[in-house]
């Protein structure tokens, strides 16, 4: 405790110190002209942007060691997750970094009362006019226009900081971040769901699936996926969570996607009658809304919340709505948020003492549009949540081995580094090794769905927990397959899979059918939440960061996951990767068998 007090006193003292003369500016980051964006006019000098400054996390390697120890089912520390204070102590910057960055900001008239710091002091946020940002960083901000959707943002392709400040700043944004966060629902698959339901004859015999509950799945599930279908297929029939053992589940919402409560009640009446009149806790992040007008209902938000909360009722549920989305519209005024909003969500949730043990996200973007420095830093934020015992699932994408765009005609698979060479394009954050990436299947018996995102990161190296499984897959590939199109040493995605198409949800008062790995991620998250409930009911710890456990169980207990061996995920003008025995780059280790998993995770494996 004494060291924390000393740290606070030093930081407070240095923040008020008179600025000293700083060294000459040196380029911190520079990128090529970003693909898909057109430079327009110079940004208005008086437009306000919020600079996010990342200070080096002094002991992240130690936090990573803790994370892997508490997440390894064969380690003596398994389940002994860190506290909020312990995590913050490990990522706190060195006092010298705080001092040096404070001096630099003060030299431009920015003092402590104008700054906002993260709880660990590793992020500093300050709102400044574009003109001042350009002076501080020797940068030229312009309005950039996305050539697909016309969205506009303020960015620069190069920025600098004083040379003696370089080692005390990891990155500053918004500068070189040209990503375009999107939801993963494949909206072109919308159909009227009622027609599908009526086509199924009650006389059709159930489908035989040995790993399913009772070995059978209702035949209607081959045309329409409901909560009952998921429970039958993944062997979860008959399990009802406590709802009172402290277990929680959360869904994140971005880009003005609102979860409609009236639609949720229609869904409950249709598929989970016991849940009627129950709802979720709404948490606004940075002014996020949850507009309840019928016209504002979001397909992504409704899909995620209806299935995640329907499968886990009566587990307390939370919907996080994070405000902020590009574009900046010059004719309207200054932007209110020019950062990717999931970092705002990370800021918020890391500051909370109590966090849902399972959280699912169905939003991502092409990995290559995210600067490496930013991707690594955001990924470190997910690691902090894992160390605190939170399981994070992300949709792997809906573009096969491509950039997430489900339409082959508009899918771009060219490198974003100025070379414009053909390259498979995985998505971030699913490519972060500290989250669980969920691919997709279809039909019963299950096959890989063709749009399921999969492949290999060009930013993150393959983590050790994947070595055996992924090397086995690579060794099966014919020599020279897609040589140069992917990084065989990269973090491989997805980790697991779940059903991802023909989901029956309610949207704006009517039943519709929808697909996408945005269906798979909350479905898999719901199964994890049920497993957490089983553990918490026995006074055991939540599962936390899942991946070391997933790969260990897939290796030691093959029946824990249903191996998918049929299908492929075309993209970038290729057939993509094939599903095969063991791990593959379309369905991971397979889909969950809840009954087997429950016995394993509650009995010490």
pLDDT of residue 190: 54
Sorting pLDDT into bands at 50, 70 and 90, what band is 358?
very high
570 in a structural domain: yes
pLDDT digits (tens, 9 = 90+) for 472-513: 999 999 998 999 999 999 999 999 999 999 999 999 999 999
> CB-based contacts of 533: which residues, under 8 Å, 6+ apart?
241, 242, 245, 247, 312, 315
Whether residues 161 and 195 fall in one domain? no
Indicate if the pLDDT at residue 252 is higher than 70. yes
Sorting pLDDT into bands at 50, 70 and 90, what band is 237?
very high
Indicate if the pLDDT at residue 378 is higher than 80. yes
Looking at 161, 178, 195, the residue that finishes a domain is 178
Whether residues 561 and 494 fall in one domain? yes
Whether residues 164 and 246 fall in one domain? no
Q: Is 518 a catalytic residue?
A: yes
CB atoms under 10 Å from CB of 109, counted, come to 10
81 in a structural domain: no
pLDDT of residue 421: 84
83 in a structural domain: no
Looking at 178, 210, 230, the residue that finishes a domain is 178
Binding residues: 563-564, 582, 584
Whether residues 376 and 452 fall in one domain? yes
Whether residues 274 and 140 fall in one domain? no
195 in a structural domain: yes
Range of the domain at 497: 184-602
Which entry of 50, 270, 300, 446 is annotated as an active-site residue? 300
Reduced to 3 states, what is the DSSP secondary structure of residue 427? strand
More confidently predicted of 327 and 455? 455
Whether residues 327 and 352 fall in one domain? yes
82 in a structural domain: no
pLDDT of residue 404: 72
For residue 322, list its beta bridge partners.
Answer: 285
Q: Is 304 a catalytic residue?
A: yes
Indicate if the pLDDT at residue 62 is higher than 60. yes
pLDDT digits (tens, 9 = 90+) for 111-163: 999 999 999 999 999 999 999 999 999 999 999 988 887 888 899 999 999 99
pLDDT of residue 476: 95
pLDDT of residue 16: 46
35 in a structural domain: yes
Helix ranges restricted to H, 214-326: 227-233, 261-271, 299-312
Indicate if the pLDDT at residue 14 is higher than 70. no
pTM across the whole model = 0.93
Q: What is the distance between the alpha carbons of residues 464 and 298, in angstroms, rounded to a whole number?
A: 38
Whether residues 345 and 326 fall in one domain? yes
84 in a structural domain: no
Tokens of 150: 């016309």
Binding residues for Ca(2+): 563-564, 582, 584
More confidently predicted of 188 and 200? 200
Looking at 134, 161, 178, the residue that finishes a domain is 178
From the CA atom positions of the chain, what is the Rg in Å? 24
Which entry of 431, 452, 518, 529 is annotated as an active-site residue? 518
Sorting pLDDT into bands at 50, 70 and 90, what band is 186?
very low
The domain total for the chain is 2
Whether residues 231 and 150 fall in one domain? no
Q: What is the distance between the alpha carbons of residues 267 and 62, in angstroms, rounded to a whole number?
A: 45
The CATH code of the domain that includes 498 is: 3.40.50.200
Which residue is listed with tokens 């402590």? 112
> CB-based contacts of 314: which residues, under 8 Å, 6+ apart?
241, 243, 274, 275, 278
Whether residues 174 and 190 fall in one domain? no
295 in a structural domain: yes
Sorting pLDDT into bands at 50, 70 and 90, what band is 605?
low
Whether residues 37 and 107 fall in one domain? yes
Sorting pLDDT into bands at 50, 70 and 90, what band is 40?
very high
Whether residues 104 and 246 fall in one domain? no
Which entry of 304, 347, 425, 533 is annotated as an active-site residue? 304
Please state, rounded to an integer, the average pLDDT across all residues of the chain.
90
Range from 162-176, 405-419, 538-552, 569-583 carrying the lowest mean pLDDT? 405-419
Range from 199-203, 375-379, 519-523 carrying the lowest mean pLDDT? 199-203
Q: Is 46 a catalytic residue?
A: no
Whether residues 513 and 567 fall in one domain? yes
Range from 31-35, 223-227, 541-545 carrying the lowest mean pLDDT? 31-35
């Amino acid at each position: 405790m004494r060291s924390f007090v000393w740290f606070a006193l030093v930081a407070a003292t240095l923040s008020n110190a008179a600025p000293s003369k700083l060294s000459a500016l040196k380029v911190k980051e520079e990128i090529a002209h970003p693909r898909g964006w057109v430079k327009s006019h110079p940004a208005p000098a008086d437009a306000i942007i919020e600079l996010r400054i990342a200070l080096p996390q002094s002991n992240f390697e130690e936090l990573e060691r803790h994370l892997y120890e508490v997440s390894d089912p064969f380690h003596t520390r398994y389940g002994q997750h860190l506290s909020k204070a312990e995590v913050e102590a490990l990522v706190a910057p060195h006092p010298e970094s705080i001092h040096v960055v404070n001096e630099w900001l003060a030299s431009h008239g920015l003092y402590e009362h104008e700054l906002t710091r993260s709880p660990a002091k590793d992020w500093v946020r300050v709102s400044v006019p574009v003109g001042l940002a350009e002076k501080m960083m020797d940068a030229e901000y312009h309005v950039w226009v996305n050539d697909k959707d016309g969205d506009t943002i303020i960015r620069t392709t190069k920025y600098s900081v004083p040379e003696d400040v370089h080692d005390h700043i990891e990155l500053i944004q918004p500068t070189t971040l040209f990503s375009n966060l999107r939801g993963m629902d494949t909206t072109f698959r919308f159909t009227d769901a009622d027609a599908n339901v009526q086509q199924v004859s009650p006389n059709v015999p159930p489908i035989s699936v040995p790993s399913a509950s009772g070995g059978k799945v209702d035949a209607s599930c081959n045309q329409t996926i409901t909560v009952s279908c998921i429970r039958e297929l993944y062997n979860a029939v008959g399990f009802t969570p406590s709802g009172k053992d402290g277990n929680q589940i959360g869904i994140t919402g971005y880009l003005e996607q609102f979860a409609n409560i009236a639609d949720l009640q229609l869904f409950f009446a249709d598929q989970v009658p016991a849940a009627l009149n129950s709802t979720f806790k709404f948490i606004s992040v940075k002014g996020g809304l949850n507009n309840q007008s019928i016209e504002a209902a979001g397909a992504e938000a409704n899909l995620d919340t209806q299935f995640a909360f329907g499968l886990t009722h009566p587990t307390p549920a939370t919907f996080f709505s994070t405000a902020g989305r590009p574009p900046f519209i010059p004719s309207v005024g200054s932007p209110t948020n020019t950062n990717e909003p999931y970092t705002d969500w990370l800021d918020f949730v890391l500051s909370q003492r109590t966090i849902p043990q399972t959280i699912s996200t169905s939003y991502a973007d092409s990995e290559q549009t995210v600067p490496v420095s930013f991707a690594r830093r955001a990924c470190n934020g997910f690691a902090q949540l894992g160390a605190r015992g939170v399981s994070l699932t992300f949709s792997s994408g809906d573009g096969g081995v491509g950039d997430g765009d489900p339409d082959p005609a508009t899918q771009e698979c060219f490198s974003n580094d100025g070379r414009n060479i053909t390259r498979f394009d995985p998505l971030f954050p699913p490519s972060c090794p500290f989250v669980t990436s969920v691919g997709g299947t279809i039909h019963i018996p299950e096959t890989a769905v063709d749009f399921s995102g999969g492949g290999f990161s060009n930013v993150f190296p393959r983590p050790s927990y994947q070595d055996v499984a992924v090397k086995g897959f690579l060794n099966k590939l014919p020599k020279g397959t897609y040589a140069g199109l992917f990084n065989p040493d990269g973090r491989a995605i997805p980790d697991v899979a779940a059903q991802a198409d023909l989901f029956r949800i309610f949207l704006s008062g009517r039943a519709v059918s929808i697909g996408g790995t945005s269906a798979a991620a909350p479905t898999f998250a719901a199964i994890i939440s049920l497993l957490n409930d089983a553990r918490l009911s026995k006074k055991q710890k939540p599962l936390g960061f899942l991946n070391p456990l997933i790969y260990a169980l897939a290796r030691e207990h093959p029946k824990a996951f249903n191996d998918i061996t049929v299908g492929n995920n075309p993209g970038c003008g290729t057939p993509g990767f094939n599903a095969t025995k063991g791990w593959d780059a379309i369905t991971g280790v397979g889909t969950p068998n809840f009954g087997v998993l429950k016995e394993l995770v509650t009995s010490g494996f």
